[in-house]
Structure formats: C-alpha cells, structure tokens
Amino acid sequence: MRRPRRLLAALLVAASVASACSYETKDFDALFGEDFSVDDLATAQSSRIVDRNGVVITDLRGEQNRTDISFDDIPPVVYNAVVAIEDERFWDHSGVDLKAILRAARSNVNAGGISQGGSTITQQYVGNVFLDRTDRTGSRKIEEIFMARRFEQRFSKEFILGRYLNWVYFGNGAYGVEAAAREYFGPPDCARQQTLEDADDRECLKVAELTIVQAATIAGLVQAPGRFNPYDNYQAARDRRDLVLLRMYANDYITEDEYNLALLEPIELVEDVALLEEQYPAAHFVDDVKQWFLDNPLFGENREDRARLLFEGGLTIHTTIDLELQARAEEGVTQVLPEFASDGRINPDAAVITLGTTPTDDGHVLVMVGGRDFFGDGDFAKLNLSSGTGRQAGSSMKPIALAAELQRGREITRTWNAPLRLTIDNPQVCGAPWNVRGGTGGQVTLARATWSSLNTVYAQLIEDLRPATFVSMAEQLGIGEGRIAPVCAAVLGSENVNMLEMATVFSTFSRSGTRIDPVMVTKVVNPDGTVAYQHSSNPFPVLNASVANQITWALSQGVARGTGTNARLADGRAAAGKTGTAQNNGDATFVGYTPQRTTAVWVGFPEEVIPMRDYYQGRRVDGGTFPALIFKAVMDQMHDGFENTAFPTPPTSSTTTTLPLPPESLTVPNYVGRPVSIDLLVQAEEQFFNLVIAEEETNEFPEGTIISQTPAAGTQVPGLSLNTVTIIVAMSPLSAPVPDVLGLGEAQARQTISGNGFGHDVIYEENPEPGEGGPEPGVVWQQDPVGGTEREGGNVVTLWVNPIPDPDPPPDEDDE
C-alpha cells in the first residue's frame, strides 16, 4: 500500500506547488481575458464545392478533413457517447476530475507505466490546442490543469464540448464528429434527397443521422484511433464500441433494451477509399474551379495563401454546374461515342461545354465534359479537352468572319465564286501561295457558303477582310487575346481554340450580339455565412442585333439543310450551328445553340492529332458526324421546362423561299457519276434532299465527280422536309513537297504548311542544341517530315517551336 500513498502525497504536493506558481508559468488572464475571441479557436476545416442546385460535389481537404458544426446540430446520442467513455463526470466537474486523476494514477502505478490518462475533455482540448503537445513534463500537466479550470470559468460546458467534438481526431484523416460520421458511415441521406437550400435551413449533416451503434463506434475511436480503426481492426473496434455502450447504459444515456439490441448489431461501414482515390462527378470542372480560385488574387496575396484558404478555410463554393444535366451529357456522349468501336479499336474522345443563355443562368457553365474519364488510368485522363489549350476548330471559325463581314455593312446575300479549288497568291495578305479546295463551282450567296461550309468562298472572304480584322472580331466575340495568329488559314480553323471559347462566341450570336463571359462560380461563402465572393455578370454588345440575327438564320439553315443536319433536335426545336473539321480529319467540332442553351463539341484523340479517316461508319469523321450527333444527344436533354422558342426573324432580304410539303415517302435519286455543282444542290433541295459533300482523294475519277453516296440510290426514305444524302466527291491528290519552315515564326510556318495542303501539329519545346545565337523564341527549330519530302496533302507536319518566355514570370512558389 505504500506506492499509492506515496503517489497521492506527490499529487498533493504538486497541487500546492502549482497553486503557488501558476501565474508565473502562464498569463491566463491575458489568454482568456476580455480581449479573447472565439475566432482565436478557429480550426482548419474542409471546403465544399456544390452545384447550382446546392448538391454537394466534393469536399476539398487539406491535411485535416474537418467540417465544423454548431453544438446544437450535434445530437445527444453522439455527445453522450463521447462523454460516457471519455469524461463521464464532464457535466459536474470544473475542468479537472480528481477522481479520474487518482484512478489513472493508481492504474499507472500498478502497470508500472502509463496505461490510463486522467484528463477531462476540457483538459484534452486546452492541452492540445494551446500547449506544446510534445512536452510530457510535470509542469506542462500543471499548466493544463489550471488552464482547464480557467477555460471552464470563461466558457459554458456546451461551448467547450462543441469545440472538442469539432477538434478531436477520429482516425482515417477525420477530425471532428461530422467528418468522422461521413468517413465511416457515408454521406447524409438528406444529401441524396434534397439540396442544401431545402434542408430545413441547415447544413445537410451526417452526424444528425447517426444511430446509437454508429455514435458509440465513433466515440470509441477517440482514445486510440489507430488501434480501434474498424477498417483495420474490426474486432477491437467492436469490443471498444461495446464498452462505450456499457458506459452509456451505466450513465442512463440509453435504456437496457437499447443497450441489449445495440450489442447484437454489427458495425456496417462504407467502403474505405483513400483520399487520392476518391471519385466525384464533373471532375474536370472541379479541377478548373480549383485553378480559378488559386489564380484569383481576391483570395490571397500568393498561391500558398489561396491554397490554404481553399483546402482549410471551410468555404462553400457555389458553382454553376448542374450535376443532373452533366450526367445526361456524359450519357449522351457515351451513347454516340463509346470507348471502343465495334472492331475493338479505341474510339476518339470527346469534350462538351454547355452554357446557359436565359436570364437566370446567362453565361453559366452548366455542363463541362472534359474527357472520357478524369479518374481513368490513361496519361491524358485529367487533361481537360474542353477548356485547356484547345485544338483546331475547322470551319466552326467561319461565322466569325461572317460576323466581321456583316458588321461592316456587307450583305449576306452577296454572291461569290465557289470553285472546287483555288490558289490565293497574295503575299502581303496571306504570305506564300495558299491552295484551298472545297467548293461547288458556280456562284453562291455568302449565306449558302456558310451553311454548306464552302472553303473557297471563305478563303476569298478572309483575303478581302484581312486576317487582323478576323482576329479582332474573334477576340471581341470571346476567343482569348493572342490565341489566334493573324493568318489567312485561321478562317478555316488552323489555330488552336477550346470549346469554352467557342461556346462563348456562339452564345454571343444567340443573344443577338451581346457577349457575356462564361462563369463557373457564382458565390463563395465563409464558414460563418458571410459572403467572400459574389459574381456579377458584365454583358456588353459586340454586334448589331440585325447582324447577329442574320448569322443565326444562316447557322439555322446549316442544321436544317447544310452540313449539320445530324444536329437537328427532337420535336423540331429551333437550333443553329456550324460544323468544323481540321484539314487532316484529326479534329472535328460542332458548335450550336437554341435560344436557351449553347453547346460546343470537340471530337479527336487527346494524345496527338491522329487522322480519323475511317471511324464513322467506315468513313472519315467530320463535324457533321460524331460532333453533330453528340450535340443532338446532349441538347435534347437540356431543355426541360423550356418552350420551343423561335429565333428572332432576320431581315427579309436574308430569308429564302419556304419549300412545299413533301410526299409521305421519297426515293433517293442516283447522284453517282454526276459532277457536283451548285445547280445540283439546288435541284436536290427542290426534290427534298440535302446534299452534304465529303471529299476523297483519288486519280480514278475526274475531279468533282460524285463517286458514291449514302443512302444508296433507290432507297426509300420518310418524307421529311429535307433528307440528308452524303455524296463523296473525287478530288485529285495534292502530292507536293513538304515546305521547309525551319527558322520561320510560328504563325508564318502554320500559314505556309496550311497553304500547301498539309495539316500541322505544334510542340512547344526548347531546342536542346540551340547552337550559337539561335533560334529565337517563337521560331520553328525542327519539323517532321523535313522540308522537301514528298507527301500527299492532308498529312500532318509536326513543328517544334521554341516557347516564348513569360515577360513577367510570377515568383517561385511551391505548387500545392
């Protein structure tokens, strides 16, 4: 009996010593006096990203996964379980429990070491929050005791218990009861059923739904989160849970029946998913939102401060994405373009952007499909194909030139020559001779050249406009500054743009010429409910309304009778749009809109420009195939609750004669063997057929001859106003030497390559062997194939360009 007596005497001596020197060891009045603020107790907690309806997308966690909640939101079953096992006299003592200290001391002496602690909940909190956790000395324990007593004099029991339950670690990266509840038992049911705004004006909390068994399991983790981790040590966790249940019963927190029933229940956990393996919807969009935040000086002076606020600031970030529409869009992409083709090959990937254009969501990014699977194993899975550096948009760029032409007072009904091919030899405007093909022969209006996508007409138009005018209009409509080089080939889509930019351009047409920049975040809210950021749109006019409405009319004809007929929407809903195809079929796009939504679609391979020459029903992929079909699949799901509203009526001079009603069924004529011409296209329309031209290089037939058609002649088709027939037109191969562009600037090199009928791909990489004095930044230092190599037109020439350094580089900072 001597050892416990000695220990008790030692404790009494220690207490008296502490009484004499407590104010010398710590200035408690300064720490918890009148100037002390509850904000001083703030803990790092996870931020949350929600969609436009308040549905949680994901939590952004730093080193600590934590969501602070008020004590009123913690149910009694949870805090009673913790009190029962950690500090059963919590409600009675004044910060220190002498009985617990003596019990722990007795146990430790008998064990010959530390087997129990005697710290109250208050001691645990103040000792770990305000004192050095690594200090195990007696003086540190004395400070903890007196600090706990002063803390209880300053704050209520409810406040202290609430702070403790938000602070304490429960294992598996979860700090606080709400994070623990979600970590072990999954998201709250209310998050599955309703939005944050509908959840009785409170947070949608998992802790509020915990059962007795779940609360006891979590409470049992506090003492040793690793030892009692139910994922790793299930039986130990269950034994510990049963002990908590016993203490709850002994303290009258649960009845005998509740206790006995709870003992029989297993611990049912959600799947344990490592933080880096967690998956969530709209992941490419979330990644862009994080980058937007980290790049925004409103949230901190440097990237490090912004990252700390983003991952530990407990923010709620309200975004524009609509998870339901996002899921529909992803399903539409998969239906049109599954991962694998019928022959087992991997299909091209796709990217989709949908913007709202109604008063309640104008400019909002409602859908962002950045690729097939952000969480996939591929090297390019996380590359956002919809908003990154972008790829060639092909003829989807033509409406920009049309806007510039009409804005300067020219008429959309003006006629142009549309030869099958032409060469523009105007060095001052277009540089090297520019060989262009893609016409019908004869005279056509600019309107028809738009909806039939006639390259030879638009090549003449850009020569007349000048490339600088085209670039200026592109930037006014929504293409990023400096993204497009002032070269003639830009009108045919030689420059890289992304689908977010293209959707911005076309949404400007939809609004009758008013541009509204796209927005992803509408509001950022602090943990205390104050607003840290509120978005406000800044609409500004770019085009005259009459100009924009004429463009819309021409683009609507592209869907009704032009190259975009596969994009026709269900129930005859009004739609306008434009196809785009890169010169070598390595990229294909469709961008279009209704009065309520604008959608841009890109199809291609993310890793590099790979010609898609036989992926669509055995023939080449162009903007009227997969992209137009994806546009339809997506947009058919985007208009719940919207009436089928017509576009504004353009000036009378723009309209065409309405076709008579067709018969109930039609027989497809035979077009094979006939030369393509504008007269043939008009004649086909009068017979209720829309001819879409696709080219094939061959020397077996005279150039301009139709060599095949789909559907075949004699096929019976429904009596639609215009049935689409794809005609394949023979074009002589452009076999020519690859131009030597070494030492040229990037823009001039692109123009030279395109002007000779070749596609191009640019790699920005420093020359590892620059040699003496060069090459300069922005200059081509390598190409493949090398200049002079004989190749057929359409082949891709890869250019290596020395990157241009940032003129004002940011200070070095560690990436988060």
- Could you tell me which residues are beta bridge partners of residue 717? 666
- Please answer whether residues 471 and 770 qualify as being in contact, where contact means their C-beta atoms are separated by less than 8 angstroms: no
**Which one-letter DSSP state was computed for residue 196?**
G
| More confident position, 381 or 815 | 381
Beta strands in 238-330 (DSSP E): 316-319
Element (H, E) at 175: strand 174-175
Cis peptide before 785 (omega within 30 of 0): yes
Model confidence at 808: pLDDT above 70 = no
Model confidence at 107: pLDDT above 90 = no
**CA distances (Å), origin 434, targets 261, 421, 460, 752:** 84, 11, 11, 8
Model confidence at 109: pLDDT above 60 = no
User: What single-letter amino acid sits at 302?
Assistant: N
| Structure confidence by residue, pLDDT tens digits, 497-528 | 999 999 999 999 999 999 999 999 999 999 88
Element (H, E) at 460: helix 455-465
End-to-end Cα separation, the chain, in angstroms: 58
The proportion of the chain whose per-residue pLDDT surpasses 90, expressed as a percent, equals 56
Phi-psi category of residue 644: left, alpha or beta, with phi > 0 → left and psi -120 to 50 → alpha: beta
pLDDT at position 318 is: 97
- Could you tell me which residues are beta bridge partners of residue 175? 66, 169
| Structure confidence by residue, pLDDT tens digits, 386-430 | 998 899 999 999 999 999 999 999 999 999 999 999 999 999 999
- Please answer whether residues 170 and 183 qualify as being in contact, where contact means their C-beta atoms are separated by less than 8 angstroms: yes
Whole-angstrom Cα distance, residue 122 to residue 94?
9
pLDDT at position 548 is: 96
Q: Which of 483, 543, 480 is nearest to 513 (CA)?
A: 543
| More confident position, 723 or 134 | 723
Model confidence at 783: pLDDT above 90 = yes
Whole-angstrom Cα distance, residue 279 to residue 273?
9
- Could you tell me which residues are beta bridge partners of residue 581? 588
Q: Which of 434-443, 710-719, 802-811 has the lowest mean pLDDT?
A: 802-811
pLDDT at position 806 is: 65
Model confidence at 108: pLDDT above 60 = no
| Structure confidence by residue, pLDDT tens digits, 585-612 | 999 999 999 999 999 999 999 988 899 9
pLDDT at position 97 is: 80
Give me the chain's average pLDDT, please. 85
pLDDT at position 564 is: 94
Helix (H) and strand (E) counts in the chain: 25, 30
Model confidence at 167: pLDDT above 60 = yes
Tokens 């509908």: give the residue: 198
Residue 1 pLDDT grade (very low, low, confident, very high; cuts 50, 70, 90)? very low
Mapped onto helix, strand or coil, the DSSP state of residue 73 is helix
| More confident position, 183 or 112 | 183
pLDDT at position 74 is: 95
| Structure confidence by residue, pLDDT tens digits, 618-664 | 888 999 999 999 999 999 999 999 999 999 887 654 445 455 667 87
pLDDT at position 471 is: 96
pLDDT at position 22 is: 42
Residue 112 pLDDT grade (very low, low, confident, very high; cuts 50, 70, 90)? very low
- Please answer whether residues 796 and 287 qualify as being in contact, where contact means their C-beta atoms are separated by less than 8 angstroms: no
Q: Which of 195-209, 615-629, 752-766 has the lowest mean pLDDT?
A: 195-209
Whole-angstrom Cα distance, residue 571 to residue 567?
12
- Please answer whether residues 504 and 478 qualify as being in contact, where contact means their C-beta atoms are separated by less than 8 angstroms: yes
- Could you tell me which residues are beta bridge partners of residue 45? 313
The proportion of the chain whose per-residue pLDDT surpasses 70, expressed as a percent, equals 85
Tokens (6 digits) for 767? 């020359």
Q: Which of 434, 440, 465 is nearest to 452 (CA)?
A: 440
Whole-angstrom Cα distance, residue 376 to residue 84?
46
Q: Which of 147-151, 239-243, 554-558 has the lowest mean pLDDT?
A: 147-151
Across residues 73-95, what is the average pLDDT?
Answer: 94
Q: Which of 291-300, 333-342, 693-702 has the lowest mean pLDDT?
A: 693-702
**Which one-letter DSSP state was computed for residue 275?**
G
pLDDT at position 24 is: 38
Whole-angstrom Cα distance, residue 483 to residue 205?
46
Tokens 């299930």: give the residue: 234
| More confident position, 779 or 733 | 779
Across residues 339-361, what is the average pLDDT?
Answer: 94
